[in-house]
C-alpha cells in the first residue's frame, strides 16, 4: 500500500511540475512583444508628367517592404492595374504608362513578414494633359427650363464633357449632366428648373485623355 501511494504521489508531483512549466512558458510567450509597425508617412508625389509620377514615403522602422495602392477613386474601389498592394522594396516607386490628364489616389502600407500596418494618408495626383482647357462662353438662349452652352474647339479633341451643377463646387451634379459627352462645341441644355441658378463647365476629350476644366460659368433661369 505504501509503495502504491508513493508512486501516486510521484505521479501527481510530475503532473503539477509539468503544469507549472507550461504556465511559465505561456507567460513568457505572452510577455514577448509582438510586431507593431508604424503607419508610413506619405509625401506629396513628385516628377509629375503627362504619363507618370513618383510616389514616395518615409521609412518605417522594422519594415522589410511596403505595399503601394494606386486607384482612380478616393475610396480605392478601382485600382490601377498592378497597383493593388504592389510590393515595393524601397521608399519610392515611379508609376508609368498612364493616360495624360488622369487623376489618381495613392496610399502605402508598411509590411514585416505577414504583418501589415494601417494605411497612410491618401495623396491625390493629377497628371499633366496634352489637351488645353476649352474657353467657355457665357450662357445664351436662357429660358425657364434651359440655356445654350458654347465653348471653343480644342486641337486634338475628339469630343467634350459637359458638367452642370447647382453649386459652384460641383458636388450637386444635375442628373444627366455628369460629364455628358458632346461631339460639338455647343449644346442646348433642357429640362431644368425655372428660376434655379446653375453652374456649368466643360472639358476637352481625346481618346481616354481629359483636359483640365474650363472656367466655370453661372446662369440663372427665367422664373
Q: How far is CA 8 from CA 3, 34, 45, 103, in A?
A: 9, 41, 73, 77
Q: Cell numbers for 37, please give them.
A: 509597425
- Taking residues 81-93, report their average pLDDT: 98
Q: Where are the domains of the chain?
A: 1-32, 53-126, 147-220
pLDDT band at 107 (very low <50, low <70, confident <90, very high): very high
Same fold, 53-126 and 147-220: yes
Mean predicted lDDT score pLDDT of the chain: 90
The pTM score is 0.63
**Predicted local distance difference test score (pLDDT) of residue 17:** 55
What local confidence, expressed as pLDDT, does residue 66 receive?
98
pLDDT of residue 188: 98
CATH for 147-220? 2.60.40.10
What digits encode the pLDDT tens for the residues 190-208?
A: 999 999 999 999 999 999 8
Q: What is the pLDDT of residue 101?
A: 87
pLDDT score, position 1 = 46
Give the CATH superfamily of 53-126.
Immunoglobulins (2.60.40.10)
Hey, CA dihedral for 134, 170, 81, 60, is it positive or negative?
positive
pLDDT of residue 8: 57
Provide DSSP, 83-145.
-SSEEESSSEEEE-SPPTT-EEEEEEEEEETTEE------EEEE---SSPPPPBPPPBS--SS
11: cell is 505521479
pLDDT at residue 21 is higher than 60 = no
Amino acid at each position: 500500500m505504501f509503495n502504491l501511494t508513493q508512486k501516486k504521489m510521484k505521479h501527481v508531483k510530475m503532473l503539477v511540475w509539468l503544469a507549472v512549466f507550461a504556465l511559465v512558458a505561456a507567460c513568457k510567450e505572452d510577455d514577448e512583444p509582438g510586431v507593431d509597425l508604424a503607419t508610413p508617412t506619405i509625401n506629396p508625389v513628385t516628377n509629375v508628367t503627362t504619363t507618370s509620377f513618383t510616389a514616395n514615403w518615409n521609412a518605417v522602422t522594422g519594415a522589410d517592404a511596403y505595399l503601394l495602392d494606386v486607384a482612380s477613386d478616393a475610396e480605392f474601389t478601382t485600382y490601377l492595374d498592378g497597383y493593388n498592394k504592389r510590393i515595393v522594396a524601397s521608399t519610392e516607386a515611379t508609376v508609368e504608362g498612364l493616360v495624360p490628364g488622369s487623376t489618381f489616389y495613392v496610399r502605402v502600407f508598411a509590411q514585416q513578414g505577414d504583418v501589415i500596418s494601417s494605411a497612410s494618408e491618401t495623396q491625390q495626383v493629377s497628371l499633366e494633359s496634352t489637351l488645353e482647357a476649352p474657353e467657355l462662353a457665357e450662357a445664351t438662349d436662357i429660358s425657364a427650363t434651359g440655356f445654350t452652352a458654347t465653348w471653343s474647339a480644342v486641337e486634338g479633341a475628339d469630343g467634350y464633357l459637359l458638367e452642370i451643377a447647382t453649386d459652384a463646387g460641383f458636388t450637386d451634379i444635375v442628373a444627366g449632366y455628369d460629364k455628358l459627352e458632346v461631339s460639338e462645341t455647343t449644346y442646348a441644355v433642357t429640362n431644368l428648373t425655372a428660376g434655379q441658378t446653375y453652374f456649368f463647365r466643360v472639358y476637352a476629350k481625346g481618346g481616354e485623355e481629359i483636359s483640365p476644366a474650363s472656367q466655370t460659368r453661372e446662369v440663372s433661369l427665367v422664373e
